[in-house]
Structure 1
């Protein structure tokens, strides 16, 4: 299914040319997007990012900072926003540097509306996917907090590939007790199968590192 950006998505423009800012603002609003424009990256940092899907249209040649340096600083600061780089004087090394740093697209002025919209669609999909993953992790972590210490221990051992009887021997508990702990943990984590239970554990990075993967002895 083709991704259709939400009309509530926000396009952020950082460009020190007021004419470019005004032109892009008008264009994006004609596409029914929310728009924020800034002449300097510090203004964006002071304001903060929108809570919904968003992407950043970033000019390379800014008065106060190189756009690529600002892109790198965002990543180093843990600010995760898809970036489309625009420039009037681009070259291959710049493009390579920007793309290696995670830019969604690199557009040289003048670019077509179609090229820009395609890049925005890709960027907003990336933003949407990242937010979904972040929300999924938050939900899973909240469920994991509901597990008892023993249920967490059993979950880590299951994720390490041990069978119920092996877990029982390792923890010096009865087989039925291990089965109860595992069943309770799966229910709390909303895992409908053992495979999903293990997937959730691996998503959280939970496993007993002292056990070799799929160790079957004991």
Structure 2
């Protein structure tokens, strides 16, 4: 989902139209506060990725302040931010880029180049979402399951794992089954691919 935060309705509408020409869904917000309110009520992120096109100059809370709020919540990888800037805002946008913004586009911008960057940001968001999902699953493993997991990833057989950990082979098999279930994989190869 492409999120567009700009206080000018004509800009929001034009960017949403551009997004639709590329098969993307888009939502517009007339202020940083409106976007934060939507974010506060959001149950889950779009599995196809999220990207925020953000105008720097807005009344009330400007784009940089909104970016800082997202960074404070740890969301700038899951919701990459592309700043839309006027000429005088470039130093501000470059500073935000150094602090983790995905990119900035100077107005007037090239429509195709901007949408290409949005597609790249959506791909980065999907990757970040997938990584967060894997980390969430890893967090459900017990300490012993993590030890068994590390040895499975090292390519060790159940008997060797049992010997190294001082537990029975049957216990290793039970841990292995729990790990595969929690990580939603069927084989050690799938597990290794998931955690590469």
Q: Could you state the TM-score of these two structures normalised by the residue count of structure 1?
A: 0.67
The answer to whether the 8 A contact 1:90-1:108 is kept is: no
The 3 A distance-change label for structure 1 pair 153 and 63 is closer
Per the alignment, residue 24 of structure 1 pairs with 15
> Which residue matches 2:86?
88
- Determine if the alignment matches structure 1 residue 184 to structure 2 residue 174: yes
Unaligned runs of 5+ in 1: 1-9, 204-218
TM-superposed CA distance for 1:70, in Å, is: 1.3
Take 2:54 and 2:79, find their aligned partners in 1: how far apart are those partners? 11
Gapped regions of structure 2 (runs ≥ 5): 155-159, 181-185
**2:133 is the alignment partner of 1:135:** yes
What SS does structure 1 have at the residue aligned with 2:133? helix
Q: How many Å apart are 1:154 and its aligned residue?
A: 5.0
Q: 1:131 to 1:153 in 2, by over 3 A?
A: closer
- The alignment partner of 1:51 has SS state of coil
Judge conservation of contact 2:81–2:101 (CA < 8 Å) in 1. Answer: yes
1:20 deviates by 1.3
Distance 1:101 1:44 in 2: 21
Q: Against the structure 1 CA distance between its residues 24 and 153, is the aligned structure 2 distance closer, same or farther, given a 3 Å change threshold?
A: closer
Paired with 2:19 and 2:113, the residues of 1 have a C-alpha distance of 13
Following superposition, the deviation at residue 91 of structure 1 comes to 5.1
- Work out the number of aligned pairs and report it: 177
1:78: Cα distance to partner?
3.0
> How far off is 1:92 after superposition?
4.9
C-alpha RMSD over aligned residues: 3.2
Partner of 1:121, secondary structure, is helix
Shift of 1:100: 1.7
Any residues of structure 2 matched to 1:21-100 within 5 Å, and which? 21-48=12-39, 49=42, 51-52=45-46, 53-79=49-75, 80-90=78-88, 92-100=90-98
More helix by share: 2
Higher Rg: 1
| Aligned partner of residue 189 in structure 1, secondary structure | helix
- 1:59-97 CA-to-partner distances (Å, cap 9, x unmatched) read 111111231121011110233411111011345532321
